[in-house]
Amino acid sequence: MILSEIEGQIGLIKLNRPEKRNSLHPDLVNAFLAKFNEFNLDRNIKAIIITGEGTSFCAGADLSYLNQLKNNSVPDNDEDSQLLSKFFLSVYESDKPTIAAVNGPAIAGGCGLATACDFIFADEKNAKFGYSEVKIGFLPAIVSFLLLRRLSEFKAKQLLITGDIISAFQAQNIGLVEYISEENNTLNDAQKFAEKISKNSLYSISETKKLIRQIYSLRYDDAVKFAVNLNVIARTSDDFHEGLNKFISKG
């Protein structure tokens, strides 16, 4: 249900259910988590790109899987919700830069997956974004946490409450998407960007991501203490010493 490859220092994961528009199913989620965690632990991989096979990025939950939810017990629903939470948070909390190459529609949980990534590249013509859960009486509960890390409360409300599907340019205008790619060039642009940032210190990137995640939820005084502590630790790292020596030698 997924395809993967490693090119240089870049790991690529493709959701591979094109006949189902790469919709989410527990089997796909588990396969994704296994490969993503493998890439995350591989020290030779400096960045991870996520995209979809075919013409869709991810159309949200599989319809047959959604229909099955009607018969689930509360423990079943809890187990399933925990799996989805792990799916999104594994990407969001990754030590490595994560890049969504959105080649087509990213709807509901698919939009959540893109939002969990650090950077989003969107196909100018084919990419679409939206949270359609409210249209079927469902809640965008888990994905809303991630959306509110990217957008203001009121911009998030506009997407979550209306269930509107928006274009790549509309998504960029509200701050959901960073980069717009020419038609059918999204993955290529994402790969070039991944190669660029893979030249930076992975240790520094990882700690910077941790800094951003933690500071967001800390009180002012605690945030300052946390930042100071990370600054102290960073000064003793091998990456800093090597980078500083190179910088000084150039001068």
Structure tokens at 35: 């490969």
Q: How many residues does the chain have?
A: 251
Alpha carbon distance 75, 72 (integer Å): 8
The answer to whether 183 is a known catalytic residue is: no
For residue 81, what are the CA distances in angstroms to 73, 76, 111?
A: 12, 9, 17
Would you say 215 and 191 are in contact if contact means Cβ atoms under 8 Å apart?
no
Identify the CA nearest to 97 among candidates 246, 204, 232. Answer: 204
Look up the pTM and report it.
Answer: 0.88
Alpha carbon distance 98, 100 (integer Å): 7
Q: Can you give the pLDDT at residue 239?
A: 59
3 state DSSP class of 145: helix
Structure tokens at 147: 């959306």
Kindly report each contact of residues 63-71 with a partner whose C-beta sits within 8 Å and lies 24 or more positions away, as own/partner: 63/23, 65/23, 65/24, 65/25, 65/26, 66/136
Torsion of CA 226, 229, 233, 234, to 10 degrees: 60
Phi then psi for 121, rounded to 5 degrees?
-105, 130
> What CATH architecture does domain 2-197 belong to?
Alpha-Beta Complex (3.90)
Alpha carbon distance 97, 119 (integer Å): 8
Identify the CA nearest to 116 among candidates 159, 87, 138. Answer: 87
Q: What strands, in cross-sheet order, belong to the sheet with 47-52?
A: 2-7, 10-15, 47-52, 98-102, 119-123, 179-181
Phi then psi for 138, rounded to 5 degrees?
-105, 175
Phi then psi for 5, rounded to 5 degrees?
-160, 160
Each residue's pLDDT tens digit in the chain (251 positions)?
999 999 999 999 999 999 999 999 999 999 999 999 999 999 999 999 999 999 999 998 888 877 787 788 888 888 888 999 999 999 999 999 999 999 999 999 999 999 999 999 999 999 999 999 888 888 888 889 899 999 999 999 999 999 999 999 999 999 999 999 999 999 999 999 999 999 999 988 998 898 888 877 766 677 677 667 766 766 666 655 565 556 566 65
Catalytic residue among 133, 178, 182, 207: 133
Beta bridge partners of 52: 15
